[in-house]
């Protein structure tokens, strides 16, 4: 069980990863960096999500703490031996990676074909969906209408493939149009869910059905 402060690197891009594990609290970002410094976040890991690369010394992605985090860590080789001994466990890992692949492809659609406002709306809806599953102890009225964005504008931009300025403008605009309300930079209320869905460019189906929001994720970082 280890803790990291926001901003710390858990696994570097080229580094040999010696451990892997599960997020207990906080948020991890899985990201790739280009030679000139441009960064793209390719996954966010919430509590209960798995991080780390099995069966490979290194993956091309870095895993960093987006907030203060506590992780439950295992030694990689020991975990791999466990997997070899337990086909059932490996099967479950397999299914998780398949889901993660779906999520990655969903995100490719977002990055390749959606406008920035659509991406922001999608992000809100996905976050809303995931976090309401994770925190089921809130009063249901409140829960249905509020979104907590657990990361900075900078990370949001790196995740959505845009810039902080554009993110800011889009959010303010959605608020001005009465689609959402801004309680604080990280807390929002959804005033018009129907319209938010329409803004996202997605159908009820692909948001509600199978997407990033559905299950705990594998990082395989």
Q: Which two tokens stand for residue 54?
A: 């099995």
CA–CA gap between residue 96 and residue 14 (Å, rounded): 24
- Which of 10, 218 has the CB closer to DNA? 10
Q: Which residues bind DNA (CB under 7 A)?
A: 115-117, 152-154, 161-169, 171-172, 182, 185-186
- CA dihedral sign, ordered 137, 45, 50, 203: positive
Q: How far is the CB of 35 from a second copy (least distance, A)?
A: 5
Q: How far is the CB of 75 from a second copy (least distance, A)?
A: 19
Which residue among 22, 24, 48, 97 contacts a second copy (CB under 8 A)?
97
CA–CA gap between residue 134 and residue 71 (Å, rounded): 17
CA–CA gap between residue 178 and residue 183 (Å, rounded): 13
CA–CA gap between residue 164 and residue 43 (Å, rounded): 18
- Which of 135, 203 has the CB closer to a second copy? 203
Q: Is 108 in contact with 37 (CB distance < 8 Å)?
A: no
Contact status: 212 vs a second copy (CB under 8 A): no
Locate tokens 């504008």: which residue? Answer: 153
* Binding-site partner at residue 10 among DNA, a second copy, none, CB < 5 to 8 Å by type: none
Q: Given the rule CB under 8 A, which residues bind a second copy?
A: 30, 32, 34-36, 38-40, 42-43, 53-56, 59-61, 87, 90-91, 93-95, 97-98, 100-102, 104-109, 111-114, 160-161, 201-203, 206, 209-211, 220
């Amino acid at each position: 069980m280890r803790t990291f402060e926001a901003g710390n690197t858990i696994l570097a891009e080229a580094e040999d990863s010696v451990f892997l594990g599960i997020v207990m609290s906080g948020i991890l970002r899985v990201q790739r960096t280009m030679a000139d410094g441009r960064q793209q976040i390719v996954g966010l890991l919430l509590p209960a999500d798995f991080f780390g690369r099995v069966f490979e010394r290194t993956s091309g992605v870095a895993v960093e703490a987006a907030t203060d985090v506590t992780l439950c860590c295992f030694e990689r080789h020991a975990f791999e031996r466990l997997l070899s001994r337990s086909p059932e466990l490996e099967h479950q890992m397999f299914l998780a990676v398949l889901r993660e692949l779906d999520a990655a492809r969903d995100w490719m659609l977002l990055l390749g074909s959606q406008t920035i406002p659509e991406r922001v709306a999608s992000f809100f809806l996905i976050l809303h969906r995931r976090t309401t599953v994770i925190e089921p102890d809130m009063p249901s009225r409140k829960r249905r209408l509020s979104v907590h964005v657990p990361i900075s504008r900078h990370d949001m931009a790196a995740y959505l493939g845009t810039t902080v300025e554009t993110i800011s403008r889009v959010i303010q605009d959605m608020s001005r149009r009465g689609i959402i309300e801004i309680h604080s930079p990280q807390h929002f209320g959804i005033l018009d869910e129907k319209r938010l869905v329409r803004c996202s460019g997605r159908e009820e189906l692909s948001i509600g059905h199978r997407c990033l929001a559905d299950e705990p994720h594998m990082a395989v970082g």
